[in-house]
C-alpha cells in the first residue's frame, strides 16, 4: 500500500527548501566568522544564533517530509559565496538572503494551494509568519546601521551596535501584536 501523501513534485520542492535552509545556515556561519574575525563579537554572536535557527528550519522540513511518508534526500550544501565587504554590506546581504528565502517560501505556498495539498499549505503558514519576523528583524538592523552612518558608521557607533546585538532577542515584534497601550 502506498502511504506517501506528497506528490512527487511537492516532495522535490520541500526537499529543495530543506537544503536551502541548510544553505542559509552556512551563509550566516560565514558572515558570523567574518564579523568575529573583524572584532565584532556581539554581531557575530547574533548571526551564530541565527545560523542555528536556520538549521532548525531545515529540521522542520525534514521532519514534515518524513511525516507525510515521502523520501528525504540529503544533498550537498552549496558554498556560502562571497564574504561581506563591510558591516553594512554584511547586514544588507543578510536582509537580501531573507527576502530571497521569503520568495521561495511563497512559491511553496502557491504550489500547495494549486495542488489542493492543504496539509502542506497549513505547514507552510508557520514559515510565512517566520519570514515576516525575520525580514522585520533584518530591516530593524539596517535602520540601526543607517542611523549609525551606514557605510560611514564610526568605530564608536559600531562598537555600541555590537554590544546591543550580543543579547538582542532573536524574535522581532510584529504589527499584529501591537495595541494602543503597547505600540
Ligand atoms: Fe529559514 Fe531565515 O529563514
pLDDT digits (tens, 9 = 90+) for 166-179: 888 777 888 888 88
d(CA 142, CA 41): 18
Which atom, in ligand 1's list, is nearest to the CA of 131? 3
> How many residues are listed for the chain in this entry?
183
Residue-range domains of the chain with CATH: 8-172 (1.20.1260.10)
Q: How far is the CA of 20 from the centre of ligand 1 (A)?
A: 9
pLDDT digits (tens, 9 = 90+) for 111-160: 999 999 999 999 999 999 999 999 999 999 999 999 999 999 999 999 99
101 lines ligand 1 (CB under 6 A): yes
57 lines ligand 1 (CB under 6 A): yes
pLDDT digits (tens, 9 = 90+) for 11-37: 999 999 999 999 999 999 999 999 999
Q: How far is the CA of 2 from the centre of ligand 1 (A)?
A: 32
d(CA 2, CA 5): 8
Q: How far is the CA of 125 from the centre of ligand 1 (A)?
A: 13
pLDDT at 163 over 90: yes
Closest by CA position to 80, among listed 122, 45, 32, 40: 32
| Atom 2, ligand 1: residue with shortest CA distance | 98
* Rounded (to 5) percent helix, strand, coil in the chain: 75, 0, 25
Amino acid at each position: 500500500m502506498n502511504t506517501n501523501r506528497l506528490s512527487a513534485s511537492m516532495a522535490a520542492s520541500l526537499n529543495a527548501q530543506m537544503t536551502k535552509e541548510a544553505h542559509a545556515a552556512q551563509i550566516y556561519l560565514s558572515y558570523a566568522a567574518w564579523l568575529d574575525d573583524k572584532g565584532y563579537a556581539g554581531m557575530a554572536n547574533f548571526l551564530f544564533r541565527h545560523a542555528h535557527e536556520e538549521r532548525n528550519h531545515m529540521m522542520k522540513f525534514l521532519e514534515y517530509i518524513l511525516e507525510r511518508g515521502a523520501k528525504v534526500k540529503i544533498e550537498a550544501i552549496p558554498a556560502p559565496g562571497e564574504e561581506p565587504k563591510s558591516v553594512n554590506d554584511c547586514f544588507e546581504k543578510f536582509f537580501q538572503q531573507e527576502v530571497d528565502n521569503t520568495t521561495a517560501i511563497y512559491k511553496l505556498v502557491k504550489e500547495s494551494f494549486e495542488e489542493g495539498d492543504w496539509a502542506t499549505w497549513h505547514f507552510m503558514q508557520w514559515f510565512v509568519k517566520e519570514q515576516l519576523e525575520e525580514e522585520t528583524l533584518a530591516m530593524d538592523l539596517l535602520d540601526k546601521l543607517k542611523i549609525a552612518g551606514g557605510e560611514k558608521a564610526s568605530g564608536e557607533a559600531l562598537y555600541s551596535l555590537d554590544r546591543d546585538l550580543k543579547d538582542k532577542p532573536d524574535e522581532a515584534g510584529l504589527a499584529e501584536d501591537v495595541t494602543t497601550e503597547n505600540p
